[in-house]
Amino acid sequence: MFTIIVLGSGGAIPQPGRYPSSIAVRVNGEILLFDTGEGVQRRVLGFGLGIAGLRRVFITHLHGDHVLGLFPFLQTMSMQKRTAPLEVYGPPGLSDLIAGVLRGAAFRLTFPILTIEIYTEGLVFESHRYRLYAKWLKHGVPTLGYKVEERVVTGRFKPEEARRLGVPEGPLWKQLKEGKSVRLPDGRVVRPEQVTEPPPKPLSIAYLVDTAVDEGNLDFVRGVDVLIHDTTFTSDLADRAAAEGHGTARGVAEFAQRAGVRLLVMTHLSSRYKDPLPHLQEAMSVGVNTVYAYDGMVIHLTREGISFTELKKWRRSRQRQEATS
Ligand SMILES: [Zn+2]
């Protein structure tokens, strides 16, 4: 299951209610950060996201409104005496940028930072929780789009089948549910596929910001459940959008429809618009299931459906979960 928390939904010029680009994605229990626009740490702290467990940050490109919020964030982590390593992924040039700021600014990190520059498209990282893929986008500077796909090891567990095969309820059931074979006291080996249904199609999300609409991205995002896409302008500014490497609402909505996504989340609103109503009208005329992101938007994605929670409610339920675990 995924939870997406929008931290910044604005374009390059911040607006009172919209910070520059950043989203947090919780996938099977791990929080990932995509882009770190100015003010990202204020959003993280203000929205009550726990960051002690943050291990990985993914930067799309080195335009200031996507990366400059990283450094104050690193400073705060150091002041909080973080010791766990932090991995930061992004395009070539990221290492020089981070090293340069750390050399020039007067603060010392209390934890190791590992910078991983991505040169080739495809699988970038995988764990037992998810797989992460990257793809080059159409923008003025080298820019990466990302896709996160959950790892689904097994399908639904069939307790009646486990009992029939004589597997005692308890730790062995847990191992089978985790996709591991088990040996019974009488020496027989039971494989997970004997007691589970075939794994379902993994849930996935894609983050394509900043970019113009590009047919070359279609295969990358085909069939994803949630597509978060740069939608800076409306279609009357299509020429400017193409020249600057940004999306228009109509173009993005048509692209999302061709890609067969379940939900389109438009973001990166230009400061020339006071609200995204014209974008929503354009996208709705295409007939795709669409929302325009706002700072604090919380989206839950499960196999059963996609739902939205008010931030305060989501935070309270997280605090209750943490208190009981
Ligand atoms: Zn940009």
Give the model confidence (pLDDT) of 30-58 as tens digits. Answer: 999 999 999 999 999 888 887 778 999 99
Residues known to be catalytic: 65
Could you say which of 199, 232, 260 is where a domain stops?
199
- Helix locations, the chain, DSSP H: 40-46, 64-67, 70-79, 94-104, 159-164, 171-177, 192-195, 218-221, 238-244, 249-259, 277-286, 311-324
Could you say which of 142, 172, 199 is where a domain stops?
199
Task: Measure 186 CA to ligand 1 centroid, in angstroms.
Answer: 62
Same domain, 127 and 145: yes
Same domain, 157 and 147: no
Q: What is the model's pLDDT at position 325?
A: 62
Same domain, 119 and 238: yes
Q: What is the model's pLDDT at position 178?
A: 87
pLDDT at 230 over 80: yes
pLDDT at 106 over 90: no
Could you say which of 172, 199, 226 is where a domain stops?
199
Same domain, 110 and 54: yes
Q: What is the model's pLDDT at position 288?
A: 93
Q: What is the CATH number of the domain that holds 56?
A: 3.60.15.10
Same domain, 84 and 41: yes
Task: Measure 62 CA to ligand 1 centroid, in angstroms.
Answer: 8
pLDDT at 318 over 80: no
Task: Measure 11 CA to ligand 1 centroid, in angstroms.
Answer: 9
Q: What is the model's pLDDT at position 119?
A: 97
Q: What is the model's pLDDT at position 108?
A: 87
Cis peptide before 210 (omega within 30 of 0): yes
Task: Measure 8 CA to ligand 1 centroid, in angstroms.
Answer: 14
Same domain, 17 and 29: yes
Same domain, 168 and 218: no
Same domain, 307 and 171: no
Q: What is the model's pLDDT at position 127?
A: 93
pLDDT digits (tens, 9 = 90+) for 258-315: 999 999 999 999 999 999 999 999 999 999 999 999 999 999 999 999 999 888 888 8
Confidence of residue 210 (pLDDT cuts 50, 70, 90): very high
Residue 73 belongs to domain spanning: 2-152+200-324
What is the phi/psi pair of residue 126, to 5°?
-145, 145
Say what the alpha-carbon torsion angle 97, 245, 19, 318 is, to the nearest 10 degrees: -90
Task: Read off the pLDDT of each residue in 220-239 and give the average, rounded to a whole number.
Answer: 97
Q: What is the model's pLDDT at position 34?
A: 98
Task: Measure 63 CA to ligand 1 centroid, in angstroms.
Answer: 5
Radius of gyration of the chain (CA): 21
Same domain, 65 and 117: yes
Phi/psi-derived region of residue 173, left when phi > 0, alpha when psi is between -120 and 50, beta in every other case: alpha
Task: Measure 93 CA to ligand 1 centroid, in angstroms.
Answer: 15
Same domain, 178 and 274: no
Task: Measure 232 CA to ligand 1 centroid, in angstroms.
Answer: 11
pLDDT digits (tens, 9 = 90+) for 130-188: 999 999 999 989 999 999 999 988 899 999 999 999 999 999 999 999 889 999 999 99
Q: How many angstroms separate the first and last alpha carbons of the chain?
A: 19
pLDDT digits (tens, 9 = 90+) for 60-105: 999 999 999 999 999 999 999 999 999 999 999 999 999 999 999 8
Domain count, the chain: 2
Same domain, 56 and 121: yes
